[in-house]
Amino acid sequence: MSDLAEQLRPVTAEEWPQFARAMSETFGDDPTGPFVESPSPVAELDRSLGLFEDGRVAATAGIYSLQMTVPGGAAVPTAGITWITVVPTHRRRGVLTAIMRRQLDGLHEEEREPVAALWAAESSIYGRFGYAPASRRGGWTGQTSRLALRRDVDTGSGRIRVVDAHEFRAAAAGIHDTVRRSVPGNMARDDRWWDRLLRDEPDQRHGYTARRHALHVEADGTVTGFALYRLKSSWSETSEPEGTLRVGEVRSTTPTAYAALWQFLLSHDLVRTVDAPMASDDDPLRHLLADPRALHARPVDALWLRLVDVGRALSARRYPSPIDLVLEVRDDFCEWNTGRWHMWGHPAGAFCDRTDRDPDLSLGIEDLSAAYLGGVSLASLQAAGRVREISPGAVVNASTAFSWPVTPWCPDEF
């Protein structure tokens, strides 16, 4: 493994086509699109890793420099782990471990992002490196015949406008920047990431229409919400319409705008099924429906987190109730995190530093990472035998303090 690890290095722009093709082929895709021959605008080649052997790319990896909202509204620098592949000929040779080692050691030594995040193509891979699922996506579907809003829902006096991508982006960017600050797990989007989100390649539509863009506009002209969606036409053997509307994202700054956007989405002719694969696990839409059972959720893990620097990460977020505890943390892969950490926090501030005091709780880095955004209960982890209470009442105290009123959610895959 050591020889292979020493061969890992950043890929150059000239090597990108070979790098991109190896990545696509390992994921089982045919390499297509505009970024096969040259990197996308969000690519950071200086943070990439490639393993080149015998003139071929045997492994790929990369990091995006992201800003993630954490409980309390702060945007914490986050290493977005991406492009992780190892070709079949190099499996079981320690290549993935070498990649994880290089990435996490580098983040620690350079004192860069205190948190790393990824989307796991396979959920059994990343736990041994300290990553844990910290958010879920609701992934719901329903039939339009049952997806009606309650009669008492207020949709306001605004109107919906379907606009082109340019007009949409100008209005939606400001709305997103406002609402993402209150949702743990949301990522900031600069111009590069808006370019990526709104790119609409025909070969990536999978039978759906081009993306459609809707804005909610108040009577005074203020834009207070947006929606992204696509349609797919389908007909039964008896010529009955069986179309599908796929929702990409719905965001708003007011409850009435949110309700009005959903009323619009659920009212399309020729559509029988609506689905929202990237919706929040706690989507407010369920509370707007006359028949809550009409929405069939398929929740699965979404964003996986790993605390790279326990002290800096726990100091960055806020806690809805006071906490003053000592955590004994185990981290077999990043030993600099192992030890006792005194954390103190409340809604307005927090700090976490090393201590020699006796511990109140003992837990692994996976468990701490899972609970970081407030969506996984430390009490639930204790019930699973993964958190050990040393001081009576510490689990209740910590579970309450680590919770957050808003369910963590990340609509941006990377």
Q: Are 77 and 67 in contact (CB under 8 A)?
A: yes
Residue 153 to residue 262: CA distance in whole angstroms = 11
If you compute the radius of gyration of the chain from its CA atoms, what whole number of angstroms results? 23
Amino acid at 337: N
- The active-site residue out of 19, 64, 126, 168 is 126
Q: Are 386 and 150 in contact (CB under 8 A)?
A: no
Distances in Å between the Cα of 69 and the Cα atoms of 43, 293, 320 are 21, 31, 16
CA triple 76-77-78, angle to 5 deg:
105
- The active-site residue out of 168, 258, 319, 414 is 414
Residue 59 to residue 49: CA distance in whole angstroms = 8
257: phi then psi, degrees, rounded to nearest 5: -65, -40
In whole angstroms, what separates CA 324 from the centre of its chain? 29
Residue 245 to residue 12: CA distance in whole angstroms = 41
Reply yes or no on whether 414 is catalytic.
Answer: yes
Residue 67 to residue 17: CA distance in whole angstroms = 28
Rounded (10°) angle between helices 165-179 and 191-198:
120
The helix, strand and coil proportions of the chain, stated in percent and rounded to the nearest 5, come to: 30, 30, 40
334: phi then psi, degrees, rounded to nearest 5: -125, 85
Enumerate the active-site residues.
126, 414
